[in-house]
């Protein structure tokens, strides 16, 4: 089950999540998808708030801080930092949480999610022959195959060889998968549009995540996001 299908079913649920019986395929998806698991957790929190109907409640400090951060990121205007907090209806908080914590569009909710998905796809190609072709024009291949012109990454080492270029799907996002070999060992680079992230990445800044035996380096350049799995 893909994220889009799962979230469509979630939107059709007309009872509280605590009363909903998830199917085997839905439970399997939740185990594998950090983004949808986070969405379920938020939905459950919203159910609790909605149960309070329109009672006046004080906005929690953690929600205030999250909203301030998102307002700064989205609006970039100092006037929002002077927002006065008062007791507001529970449903208003629910609406603000949905708007700010789950902004529209993007496929990825966190760098951890990108890292885990990239490692899973990288591992699925280990141990089998790499028969992917290498296009002469990488930008044209990207535009035709996954909908946007990609550029080759600037890697931190030069003694590597590109041995395959293909398409994969991370979450719900069409992604370019570049396979390299260095000192007899394969590594992967995944490329997708920066608009697919629901969080901010500073341009040309590297973010490094360690997962057991893997290191994932993520960076943004020219409206693209790269995830290097080594």
pLDDT at 85 over 60: no
Same domain for 127 and 184: yes
Exposure string for 177-214, b = 16+ CB within 10 A, e = fewer = bbbbeeeeebbbbbbbbeebbbeeeeeeeeeebeeeeb
* 64: in domain: yes
Task: Give the separation between CA 10 and CA 39, rounded to whole angstroms.
Answer: 10
Same domain for 91 and 45: yes
Same domain for 29 and 76: yes
CB 219 within 8 A of CB 201: yes
pLDDT tens, residue by residue, 55-83: 555 666 666 665 665 555 444 444 444 44
* 106: in domain: no
* 27: in domain: yes
Question: What is the DSSP secondary structure assignment for residue 159, as one 8-state letter?
Answer: S
Same domain for 85 and 65: yes
CB 3 within 8 A of CB 107: yes
Q: What is the mean pLDDT of residues 223-227?
A: 95
Domain that includes residue 214, residue range:
111-229
Same domain for 164 and 96: no
Q: Which has the higher per-residue pLDDT, 113 or 91?
A: 113
Same domain for 162 and 126: yes
Q: Which has the higher per-residue pLDDT, 32 or 63?
A: 32
Q: Residues 132, 138, 141, 145: is their CA dihedral positive or negative?
A: positive
3-state secondary structure of 174: strand
Task: Give the separation between CA 15 and CA 26, rounded to whole angstroms.
Answer: 16
* 63: in domain: yes
> Domain end: 56, 80, 101, which one?
101
* 211: in domain: yes
Same domain for 219 and 158: yes
Same domain for 129 and 96: no
Same domain for 87 and 193: no
Same domain for 218 and 124: yes
Using only the alpha carbons of the chain, give its radius of gyration.
Answer: 21
> Domain end: 68, 101, 134, which one?
101
Same domain for 96 and 11: yes
Is residue 170 classed exposed, middle or buried when 0-12, 13-18 and 19+ CB atoms within 10 A define those classes?
buried
- Count the neighbouring beta carbons within 10 Å of the beta carbon of residue 220: 18
Number of domains in the chain: 2
The size of the chain, in residues, is 230
CA distance readout (Å), 185 to 22, 182, 226: 41, 5, 20
Note the pTM of the prediction, 2 decimals.
0.59
CATH number reported for the structural domain that contains residue 204 in this entry? 3.40.1000
Q: Which residues pair with 188 in a beta bridge?
A: 179, 229
Specify the range with the lowest mean pLDDT, choosing from 55-69, 169-183, 202-216: 55-69
Task: Give the separation between CA 133 and CA 31, rounded to whole angstroms.
Answer: 33
Same domain for 30 and 131: no
User: For the chain, what percentages of helix, strand and coil (3-state, to nearest 5) are there?
Assistant: 40, 25, 35
* 157: in domain: yes
3-state secondary structure of 220: strand
Task: Give the separation between CA 137 and CA 141, rounded to whole angstroms.
Answer: 6
Structure tokens at 190: 């995944």
């Amino acid at each position: 089950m893909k994220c889009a299908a799962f979230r469509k079913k979630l939107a059709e649920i007309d009872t509280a999540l605590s009363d909903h019986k998830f199917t085997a395929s839905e439970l399997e998806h939740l185990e594998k998808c950090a983004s949808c698991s986070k969405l379920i957790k938020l939905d459950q929190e919203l159910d609790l708030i909605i149960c309070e109907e329109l009672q006046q409640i004080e906005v929690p400090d953690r929600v205030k801080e999250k909203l301030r951060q998102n307002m700064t990121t989205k609006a970039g205007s100092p006037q929002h930092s002077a927002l006065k907090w008062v007791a507001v209806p529970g449903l208003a908080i629910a609406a603000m949480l949905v708007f700010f914590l789950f902004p529209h569009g993007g496929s990825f909710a966190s760098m951890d999610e990108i890292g885990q998905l990239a490692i899973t796809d990288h591992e699925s190609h280990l141990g089998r022959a790499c028969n992917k072709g290498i296009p002469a024009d990488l930008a044209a291949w990207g535009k035709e195959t996954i909908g946007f012109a990609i550029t080759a990454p600037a890697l931190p080492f030069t003694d590597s060889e590109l041995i395959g270029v293909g398409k994969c799907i991370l979450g719900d996002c069409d992604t370019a998968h570049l396979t390299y070999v260095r000192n007899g060992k394969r590594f992967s680079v995944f490329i997708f549009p920066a608009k697919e992230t629901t969080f901010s990445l500073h341009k040309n800044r590297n973010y490094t995540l360690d997962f057991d035996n893997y290191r994932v380096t993520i960076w943004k350049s020219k409206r693209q996001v790269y995830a290097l799995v080594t």
